[in-house]
Amino acid sequence: TNDGARRAGYSAPGISGQREAVTSALRMAGVTADAMGYVECHATATLVGDGIELRALTEAYAAQGSGASGEGYCAIGSVKGNIGHANAAAGITGLIKAAMCISQATLVPTANFNKLNDKVQLAGGPFAVNGVLCPWSRLAPA
């Protein structure tokens, strides 16, 4: 995996490895965090995993000095709400969803989302769970 195995175990994600993977991906793509309008998350709905994933994303964005675009400018979601966890195919299903969103210039709502995990804090950060069908440009920074 791209997290460099910096985690407690295969099924226990680690913040530092995920943060470094996101930072590296942004750098390789030549974009800043403020340019992002959507992140397709792994989002397994586990008590530990979702909080770690969001903290790693938030730290990666903060390390780039993001925040100029304001609070909640980058939508997050996961295809798992639509189809469940596809196990070995989980990554490709998320990639297909993200590619379709790009192709249609549309962000789709996060299916079956009711409330945030108590370990996930979005207030004051760059992320917001997407709950409505909307043009992608609505969430892109100006």
Residues 50-79: tens digit of each pLDDT = 889 999 999 999 988 766 667 888 999 999
- For residues 13 and 138, give the distance between their C-alpha atoms in angstroms, rounded to a whole number: 31
Residues 16-37: tens digit of each pLDDT = 999 999 999 999 999 989 889 9
Residues 91-123: tens digit of each pLDDT = 999 999 999 999 999 999 999 988 888 878 888
- Does the domain at residues 15-139 carry the CATH identifier 3.40.47.10? yes
